[in-house]
Structure 1
Amino acid sequence: MKRLALLLLALCPSLYAAEKPNILVIVADDLGYADIGVHGGKVVPTPNIDALAASGVRCTNGYVTAPYCSPSRAGFLTGKAQTRFGHEFNPHVGDEAKLGLPLDQRTIANVLHDEGYATALIGKWHQGFDAAHHPQSRGFDEFFGFLVGGHNYLLHKDAEPEFGSAHSHDMIYRGRELQHLDGYATDLFTDEALGFMGRNAAKPWFLYLAYNAVHTPLEIADRVKDRIPADVTDENRRGYLSLLLALDDDIGRITAELKAKHPNTLVFFFSDNGGSGRKPFFAYNTGVNTPLRGDKGQTLEGGIRVPFFVSWPGKLPAGKTYDHPVSTLDILPTACAITAAKQPAGVEGVNLLPHLKGEVSTPPHDMLAWRFGPQKAIREGNWKLVDVRDMEAKTQSGWKLYDLSTDIGEEHDLSAAKPEIVAKLSKAWAEWNAKNIAPQWHGAINEDPTAPAKPAAKAGKAKKK
């Protein structure tokens, strides 16, 4: 029987693909919660992002594990709070042999690769720079993108690449080789994603499509500039809206391809953190997070609650909302559940499918907690306890308590009226935090307000690998 099964797979490999679904994770970068149509955004249309949300389940309380790019992605990739293994800040400064997602952590790509999936990362990595931390050393068969925290959009093959910065310029890699490209980054990443899907139609695939849109720099492509509303005069906001328009266009290209050729695909979409609407602030992009308070870099809702959609045609209901809190921690265990893959030790997320299908009525999580330097937060039910940092004043708020069922904007502090809840949740946060470890590195001064300023990384050393 085993020989017969192997013979059938050899003669018709698409049989194998039919057994296991493709898995696509699309990540936007610094996307404002309120800037997309499905969340009430009206400045520019986002029909394709909205259609993706409508094709499946829109999680109204979807969370990332950190309010910043690299630690948030480390949480998703491992299914664990990144503070468990010291990946608390962006990896900019330090020993590059240790700087990045720790090598003892298995990624979702490792897990699915071992299950026979073709695996690819297209776009932003931001999990380390040396050879050992490269995506193709972390479970990805293919890599096309950039290694650091941000990248320009308007690429020029004759431009001189810029090394040694948190933002790279004209430094797109295919595998480990630097490319010399003309074009627009969002479009090029989409082209590459479509090519990967097509090349692997005969076997199941996992694609992590990590767009850099709508992160700075706020460069405007010619193809979208005429669609930016004329009454928007702020140049930063115009640049942001251009990135959003192009992102929506390209998500439309991806979803059209899925519908036509890859219908058995489980799709997750989320932003790595909230929009960056504070000035002055690193990567300020004018993103709007209302009705949420706060934004990128804060453990307020605006920094950690994000657009979060899950779509799987024929397997998940379409046009549904799900209101219990869910987390990007849940993506890896959900993938393990549908592929029968072995879950790595220590995974903290849960399989979301029974919850999203309505088969389980209880919430996926009793509580969710966060630590980002001096900032802290915990959510249990509708109660949110948060201690946030004012980045400009460099002051701490102390514990503040909010009832998110009536106060999504975290405007009415109930800590004085509900001391027993403050005591309960602060104790629960401390118990959760006891399992964390110290940061393995500190980010730049504007990422970790408690860290001393440190010199910039040496130019060009590891980024060329």
Structure 2
Amino acid sequence: MGIDSAKIKLLPWGAFKLSHGIYDTISMMRQSSYFVIFLLLIIGLSSCKNKGQQTTSTKTDNAQENTAKPNIIYILADDLGYGDLSAYGQQKFTTPNIDKLASQGMLFTEHYSGSTVCAPSRSALLTGMHTGHTFVRGNKEIQPEGQYPIPDNTYTLAEALKKAGYATGVFGKWGLGYPGSEGDPLNQGFDTFFGYNCQRLGHNYYPRHLWANNDSLVLEENSGKQKGIYAPQLIHEKTLDFIEFNKDNPFFLYVASIIPHAELVAPEEIMQKYRGKFPPEKAYKGVDDGPEYRNGPYESQKETHAAFVSMIHILDNQVGEIMAKLEKLGIADNTIVMFTSDNGPHTEGGADPDYFNSNGPLKGTKRDLYEGGIRVPLIVKWPGYVKPNTRTDHVSAFWDVFPTFASIADMEVPSSLDGVSFLPTLLGEEKEQKKHEYLYWEFHEKGGRQAIRKGNWKAVKYNVFASTEDQMELYDLDTDIGEENNIAKEYPEIIEEMKLLFKEARTPSDVFTFDQGTYLSVE
């Protein structure tokens, strides 16, 4: 790789203080006769802890629950389409490790992202609120690096889990607050952060620098046009280190991968596996020099098809390596793993979702509020709780993840959340599963867009800023998953109901005002 990643140690400050505190205490006690008593007390507590970990209780018909809180790993791919996994019907390539995850757990067929672009989707995930209520409702850049921050008073999933005793780490792309801001991951409940703070710089896979907690880590191996360090690999190594470091304590690991979002590029040893296998190739001419090179614009790629599959190969391998690490450490049975994507497939940097059928049977891509822009894969593995090789059509969304993890970790959540825990679905208790009255999305680009799903009805509004009364489209997803037949004129009573819901669903925002020309998206 060109860098000794072992030298980059990300020890949470709390752990550093604790270790030094214990050292000081022992040093003091060695000077007194109480030292022996102290050691006996520690041994006794350790024995009690070990006995407690052996205690089990029945959770489902064939499940046993370890008294320790389960570790939580949430893997978020970047712009991976509903049809980009072979478990969801991909035919041109395979994703064996992710497919294995699906065979060992539950596959959701009707799960939705928080938004159709990155920042608001992540905001919905971490706050448990949809884009009518969550603070960050669109992509808004802050120069020279980062995005508009979520406020300090935002109560995030990471803060809730940290309060419940979890070590918390995020690895990959952040996008919810520039370095040092109140939205910085270290100010929003995460003990450890490694990766890209800024979505724009996350376009480039051989970056000039990454962030290690509060430190900007300059990658000299990528200076000029050099390609010494492929960032997704270095970030993955730090991800595995986090698991190793926290193997004896409950942890929440948020893996915010930057694959396969734009700039289609992979190391040559991976490209060799797929070169020439996806004809006809599609070339892309990008920015390969000058002041904007590796500052957001994508570089050129002569073989975009091979590069895309190479990147999916890397993502799939990394999922496999995470699972292997859990097995090696003996903590796989007490770890829940979720895998999903932040929105639909993109068309940037030479990407060719039509060639790969990346949105499967769905209409639209990233930046659309049709199903192809917001319906995403979700796979959940939780040994002993989630029955292997199962599927569900339960309708869920990113804002449900917060209350779901809260149920699993037995912690309280704010009453303001829009989310509904889907833990009953995971446990096979469908009769106990609460359902949404409706799901809501808004998008602040391309003239403004809104969408609502209520039951099988899907209402979509484009060019919202132009605001005409007859612009609403209506689809019945039960019979028209591809949203090909707009039946708005046939159901005027449903249209009137949807109009009321569109008004009810959102609260005003002074920053994301949902009007024309408020801000420029960079993502």
**With structure 2 as the length reference, what TM-score do the two structures score?**
0.75
Q: Which residue of 1 aligns with 2:498?
A: 425
CA distance in 1, matches of 2:490, 2:454: 18
1:380 pairs, out of 454, 463, 472, with 454
1:153–1:50 Cα change, 3 Å? farther
SS of structure 1 residue aligned to 2:312: helix
Would you say 1:332 and 2:402 are equivalent positions? yes
- 1:116 aligned to 2:184? no
Cα 1:416–1:82 change in 2 (3 A) is closer
Deviations 1:3-55 (A, max 9, x none): x9987555676767851000000000001221210111122211111111222
The answer to whether the 8 Å contact 1:59/1:309 transfers is yes
Residue pairs, 1:201-350, within 5 angstroms: 201-228=247-274, 229-232=276-279, 233-234=281-282, 235-261=303-329, 262-263=331-332, 264-277=334-347, 285-287=351-353, 288-350=358-420
Q: Give the letter aligned to residue 246 of structure 1.
A: I
Gaps of 5+ in 1: 156-168, 443-447, 457-465
Q: Which residue of 2 aligns with 1:440?
A: 511
8 Å Cα contact 1:265-1:312 kept in structure 2: yes
Alignment partner of 1:416: what SS? helix
Alignment-mate amino acid for residue 365 of structure 2? D
CA contact under 8 A between 1:292 and 1:409: conserved in structure 2? yes
| Matched residue type, 2:483 | E
Number of residue-to-residue matches in the alignment: 428
Q: Which amino acid aligns with 2:452?
A: I
Shift in Å, 1:99: 2.1
* 2:437 alignment partner in structure 1: 366
Query: 1:378·1:425 contact (CA, 8 Å) conserved in 2?
Result: yes
Whether the aligned pair in 2 keeps the contact of 1:91 and 1:126 (CA below 8 Å) is: no
Within the candidate set 129, 133, 137, 2:183 is matched to 133
Question: Which structure carries more helix by proportion?
Answer: 2
Give CA-to-partner distance per residue, 1:222-272, whole Å, 9 cap, x none.
Answer: 221122252331133332222111111111111122233322111111100
In 1: Cα distance, 2:520 partner to 2:499 partner: 32
| C-alpha deviation, 1:283, in angstroms | 5.9
Distance 2:463 2:323 in 1: 39
- 1:177 CA drift (Å): 0.9
Q: What secondary structure is seen at the aligned counterpart in 1 of 2:430?
A: coil
Identity across aligned pairs (percent)? 33
Indicate whether 1:352 and 2:422 are aligned. Answer: yes
Classify the secondary structure of the residue corresponding to 1:65. coil
Separation (CA, whole Å) in 1 of partners of 2:317 and 2:468:
41
Q: State the alpha-carbon separation in 1 of the partners of residues 143 and 323 from structure 2.
A: 40
The structure having more radius of gyration, on CA atoms, is: 2
String of CA shifts for 1:125-159, please: whole Å, max 9, x gaps: 0001041221111111111111011425653xxxx
Indicate the SS of the match to 1:406.
coil
1:148 matched to 2:198? The reply is yes
Match of 2:15 in 1: none
- CA RMSD between the two structures: 3.0
Partner Cα separation in structure 1 for residue 328 and residue 468 of structure 2: 53
CA contact (8 A) 2:147 2:176 kept: no
Distance, in Å, in 2 between the alignment partners of 1:455 and 1:39 is: 30
- Long gaps (5+) in structure 2: 1-39, 54-65, 220-227, 283-302
Q: In 2 relative to 1, CA 328–406 (structure 1 residues): closer, same or farther, beyond 3 Å?
A: same
TM-score w.r.t. length of structure 1:
0.84
Alpha-carbon deviations, 1:402-440, whole Å to 9, x = none? Answer: 11111111001111111112222222222222xx22251
Q: Distance in 2 between matches of 1:403 and 1:12?
A: 57
Contact kept in structure 2, 1:385 and 1:400, CA below 8 Å: yes
- Shift in alpha-carbon separation, 1:441–1:343, aligned structure 2, 3 A: same
Q: What corresponds to 2:516 in structure 1?
A: 450
Note closer, same or farther for the CA distance 1:7–1:411 as it changes in structure 2 (3 Å cut). Answer: farther
Provide the rounded CA distance (Å) in 2 between the counterparts of 1:211 and 1:218.
14
Query: Which structure has the higher relative contact order (CA within 8 Å, separation 6+)?
Result: 1
Counterparts of 1:6 and 1:116, CA distance in 2: 20
Between 207-216 and 77-86, the greater mean CA deviation after superposition: 77-86
